[in-house]
Structure 1
Amino acid sequence: MFQTPILDVAAGLLLFFLVLSLVCTSLNESISRMLQLREELLWKALTSLFQNSEDEQSATLARNILDHNLVDALSPPGKDTSFIPSDVFSIAVLDLIGLNATDSQTEISDQLDAAKTAKSGDLGDTVFETLKPLAVAAGKSLDDFRQGIERWYGATMDRATALYKGQMQVVTFCVAFALCLMVNADTLMLAKALWTNPQVSAKLAAEAQTVAKLQPPVNVSASSSAANQPSSELVTPLPPELQTAKSNVFGLIGWSGTFPWQTGYDHANEHRYPATWWEFFLKLIGLLMTTFAACLGAPFWFDALSKVISLKNGGSPQAAPAAGNQKA
């Protein structure tokens, strides 16, 4: 085993970044739910499926899909759902245009034309014109038509997910910086505190060793399917080991003391407010370092922490992780 102060400090810092990343992820999900970002993104994706998202007919079609019994059952009472599985979407569309039961001897495109004649007054022509190429490709197979709709919807949601991830990267940075500023999460300050207090760094390193045995967390904000999952399934409470680590880590940061222009300002206090331009600069660097670290996500820091702990243990493998994914 390699018991060196450098590894203890490294383990403590990585544990700090891991905990802060999980806290930021939890805050991000709360903001996403509050602003209904997933619901808004799903609405835009549905309207974009049918030509112009500003078109009144496209909005009507999207509303009809969201109001379908199978889709509506996925949402909380009085609210729109934040996700629609591809199979449910295809069933809703087929039901909407009246092609649930078809004649296997007739081309799907011909049946679609018949449905257009019967329902264009209620639905307009947009949905039928959009689905026409899929119907032609399906031949006489309703299953192929349904699968084509599902692939078409899936490709649209992939683009929506990419947009969602871009939005959440901006949200993550803003949330991380605001949190770091509020709690004085200064990487430079914490690194100095751990280096000059071997007992504290050893304690955090021991906690890091316990945390490294847990199941790796899932970075839901950056997940490829995050925009198309029910938000209620994306956040779960931190396990007890991480709750303890969070309390101990946050006990090492924070602001204290008076402002520089007030009586009793203590220059020896590591948690003091900066008094000079140089101190302001160093504080900003320390806060930005922590902010960018939090933006990398919990899975990144969990992996880095596991490698450092493995090095401390002489390269021995970690114990088998606990069952189930831990999410924040």
Structure 2
Amino acid sequence: MNSVYVDLATGLVIAFLLFSLLLSGINEGLVRILGIRSKFLWAYLRDMLDGAEGKRSWIPSTVREVFARLPFGRKDARPKFDPMPPPMRSTATTWSGRLYERLREIDHNTAGRTSISFVPPGRFAVAMMEMIAAEGGVPAMLDKLRQDGSPLYGPLKGVWESAKEDAEAFREGVEEWFDGEMQRLTVLYRKYVRWVIAALGLALTLFFSMDSLEYGKAILSDNAVRAQVAATADGGAAAVRGLRDKCPEHPSDPYACVTEILASPAFVKIVGNAPVSVVIPDNGNPRWIWNGGEWLNRIVSPGHWPGFLVTFFALLFGAPFWWDILRRLTGIKFRSTETTTS
């Protein structure tokens, strides 16, 4: 009996793990195609270096703005891609543009706008020192930042005073300060990504119309069929009669029915509830089947929604969580090989 519940738990965990991996893959694909990370970073850098445009921040303040502005908004905060090395004398009109001039060497060869989505704190500190040298020193740059009304003036002035006008201590202070800003940006990014993951998770659950409660029942049904097949093998003709009752469509050959049932396990059945599914016959090529009517009936049926909600909330835990649960259930362990050098 315990093995039945272990099989049930393992089947559910594997399903949640696979769907969570699919969800993560879709999210990562959209992020890369639309350049979300890069847009988010440069929106933050423009706020930090140049200040908000008028009274409007480049960083969206609501979830609706994240969906509307960052992926598809007309105002893209990213600088235009430039393969040229940084000039001796800056030609940029904004501080974020001057920063990009110093970061071109870590940019990728791409058309349109920059693909830089992460700036190492050490590289940012070096870029700032290069900009300071071009401006004639820290005091001169601070005066220029103050005149331009840049939000960067306050933090850099505080770092300069804390460093007691020591250039090396100032560089280290800028690096530490920027590292803190990037951590703050990461928290902000993850806050909005959670909403994106939730929206994608709901769409994925409804697309496959994955009812977790129905899926669990199907797993138990598969186990029951296997148990009956095992009993039939030991029970002779009397046990075969019970198998015929379960497979009325194959009265003369109940084993053909068992083969058909076990060839389509619970997971295959649950994935087959999507609007479009693939059928692989015994002979012939795979065929696409339109299940739009049946799928719509499942979506509007109140009886399936408790299972849909279980699936939806399970996907929010993420693939790492379900992988850890699967390892605990199955006892999968990884060997760590340590190499020693003499």
**What is the TM-score of this pair, normalised by structure 2?**
0.61
**Residues 295 and 30 (structure 1 numbering): CA distance in 2 closer, same or farther, change over 3 Å?**
same
Give the aligned length. Answer: 245
Aligned to 2:318: 297
Match of 2:139 among 110, 113, 138: 113
Contact kept, 8 Å, 1:183 with 1:253, in 2: the verdict is: yes
Aligned to 2:329: 308
TM-superposed deviation, 1:321:
5.2
TM-superposed deviation, 1:71:
4.3
Q: What is the letter of the counterpart of residue 77 of structure 1?
A: T
Q: Equivalent residue of 2:51, what SS?
A: coil
CA displacement, residues 94-147 of structure 1 (integer Å, 9 cap, x when unaligned):
1112179x9xxxxxxxx4224556xx39x9463555411111111243222112
TM-superposed deviation, 1:287:
1.5
Give unmatched runs, 5+ long, in structure 2.
Answer: 59-76, 78-93, 228-264, 276-292, 338-342
Aligned to 1:17: 16
Mapped partners of 1:304, 1:148: distance in 2: 42
Q: Equivalent residue of 2:28, what SS?
A: helix
Q: Equivalent residue of 1:4, what SS?
A: helix
Q: What is the letter of the counterpart of residue 11 of structure 2?
A: G
CA displacement, residues 260-285 of structure 1 (integer Å, 9 cap, x when unaligned):
xxxxxxxxxxx9547599x7122122
Q: Equivalent residue of 1:52, what SS?
A: coil
Contact kept, 8 Å, 2:121 with 2:179, in 1: the verdict is: yes
The structure showing larger relative contact order (alpha-carbon pairs under 8 Å, at least 6 residues apart) is 1
TM-superposed deviation, 1:67:
2.8
Instruction: Confirm or deny that 1:255 pairs with 2:283.
Output: no
CA displacement, residues 177-224 of structure 1 (integer Å, 9 cap, x when unaligned):
11121122221121111011118999xxxxxxxxxxxxxxxxxxxxxx
Match of 1:176 among 180, 191, 201: 201
Q: What is the letter of the counterpart of residue 62 of structure 1?
A: S
Aligned to 1:160: 185
TM-superposed deviation, 1:165:
0.7
Q: What is the letter of the counterpart of residue 32 of structure 1?
A: V
Q: What is the letter of the counterpart of residue 9 of structure 2?
A: A
Q: What is the letter of the counterpart of residue 86 of structure 1?
A: P
Mapped partners of 2:14, 2:215: distance in 1: 12
Cα RMSD of the aligned pairs, angstroms, is 3.7
Aligned to 1:40: 39
**Residues 201 and 281 (structure 1 numbering): CA distance in 2 closer, same or farther, change over 3 Å?**
farther
Contact kept, 8 Å, 1:183 with 1:254, in 2: the verdict is: yes
**Residues 128 and 171 (structure 1 numbering): CA distance in 2 closer, same or farther, change over 3 Å?**
closer
Q: What is the letter of the counterpart of residue 296 of structure 1?
A: F
Q: What is the letter of the counterpart of residue 273 of structure 2?
A: W
**Residues 87 and 184 (structure 1 numbering): CA distance in 2 closer, same or farther, change over 3 Å?**
same
Larger Rg: 2
| Identity within the alignment, % | 26
Query: What does residue range 139-288 of structure 1 map to in structure 2 within 5 Å?
Result: 139-198=164-223, 249-250=267-268, 252-255=270-273, 272-273=294-295, 280-288=301-309
Match of 2:98 among 58, 64, 78: 64
Contact kept, 8 Å, 2:20 with 2:315, in 1: the verdict is: yes
TM-superposed deviation, 1:304:
1.2
Mapped partners of 1:201, 1:165: distance in 2: 45
Mapped partners of 1:200, 1:90: distance in 2: 66
Give the 4+ runs in structure 1 shifted more than 6 A: 199-202
Mapped partners of 1:87, 1:24: distance in 2: 34
Instruction: Confirm or deny that 1:320 pairs with 2:334.
Output: yes
**What is the TM-score of this pair, normalised by structure 1?**
0.64
Instruction: Confirm or deny that 1:77 pairs with 2:110.
Output: yes
Contact kept, 8 Å, 2:159 with 2:173, in 1: the verdict is: yes
**Residues 322 and 198 (structure 1 numbering): CA distance in 2 closer, same or farther, change over 3 Å?**
farther
**Residues 193 and 99 (structure 1 numbering): CA distance in 2 closer, same or farther, change over 3 Å?**
same
Instruction: Confirm or deny that 1:91 pairs with 2:126.
Output: yes
TM-superposed deviation, 1:250:
5.0
